[in-house]
Structure 1
Amino acid sequence: MNRKRIALITSLIFLSDCSIESFNPLKNDLKNDVQAVSQSHKKKTSDKYPDISKELDITSMEQYSSNVLFMNLTLRNFHVKDIYLDDQGTYHLLLTPLKTSNQYFVTTIKSNKTIKIGDKITIQGFINGKVKVHDEYSFSSKYNGKKAVSVIVDHFEIN
């Protein structure tokens, strides 16, 4: 429903409640429409960051082209494989969905809490295509040349 229709329905409900106290067959239908609209709005906000495991095969991101990997997602309970804290206090993280996984995700965040290798983190953000891990990331050299998925963080929580 568009905003004009919602405003019209809301005003009609208000007017029908104020002016007519007798039986009004439209009253219940209009209230049901408004309730349906409010429920669909709640669903949209919670679906802004769907769980990555329900949208993509996180064990093999190689099957997706970089063009496909541009979407809002939640990375739930990902493991911190490697970490680098730069001079500005920004954490550069190398993440995996499972402790033993070799599917990597890279991101940067600012946090007042200390983050350590092995911590679990949940991130809501934007998947930003594929990258290769190289020296500029300042991760351990064993990760150089590894393929990863870049993530821009909107919100995070250290678990």
Structure 2
Amino acid sequence: MNRKQIALLTSFSVLTSISLTSINSSIHPRTHLIKATNKKKVSKKQPAYPDIMKKLDLTSMQQYDSNTLFMKVALKDFYIKDFSKLSENKYRLLLAPLDTSDQYFITTVSITQPLKKNHRITIQGFLNGKTKVKVKDNLQDKYLNKNAISVLVDQVIY
């Protein structure tokens, strides 16, 4: 066989296989449609600050050791239980997930808007382990020596 004959046979076999697949797809078009609709796109993008309510059990944070409490989270719509002014536009906040909760989160934020107790605030940041409310935090005496989780703030949404 020469080159022309080999090229002719090869092209003939390619054309035959193409026509057979097109015939099969025209005979069973529904199977191709079903297969196309069954594919789901799964978003692999994780939010930069996942909601803390979905990551941890906030009813008993004492069950976690300090090593576990190092993660990026969003404290969404937490209540401001108490606050103290440290300097101009800088405040120490004591937060709770619910108005009646005794699970506290303590942080320092720079904010220009006025703060009010029992108002809600959203904070995105990094949990920084367990701590206790201290005298130097300048919060109400009823919160002294209460267990709290320290939060390093990246962003405040008020």
Shift of 1:87: 2.6
> Once superposed, which parts of structure 1, at least 4 consecutive aligned residues long, lie more than 2 Å away?
none
2:116 and 2:130 map into 1 onto residues whose CA distance is: 24
Q: Could you tell me which amino acid in structure 2 is paired with residue 132 of structure 1?
A: K
Alignment coverage as a number of residue pairs = 118
Aligned to 2:155: 155
Aligned to 1:96: 96
Larger radius of gyration: 2
CA RMSD of aligned residues (A): 1.5
Aligned to 1:139: 139
Shift of 1:86: 1.5
Aligned to 1:117: 117
Aligned to 2:60: 60
Instruction: Please give the TM-score of this superposition, normalised by the length of structure 1.
Output: 0.71
Q: Could you tell me which amino acid in structure 2 is paired with residue 119 of structure 1?
A: H
**Corresponding residue SS for 1:61:** helix
1:157 and 1:73 map into 2 onto residues whose CA distance is: 14
Where do 5+ consecutive residues of structure 1 fail to align? 1-35
2:53 and 2:156 map into 1 onto residues whose CA distance is: 17
Identical columns (%): 47
1:148 and 1:86 map into 2 onto residues whose CA distance is: 19
Encode CA deviations 1:52-83: one digit per residue, 9 max, x unaligned: 01000011100000000000001010000000
Where do 5+ consecutive residues of structure 2 fail to align? 1-40
Instruction: Please give the TM-score of this superposition, normalised by the length of structure 2.
Output: 0.71
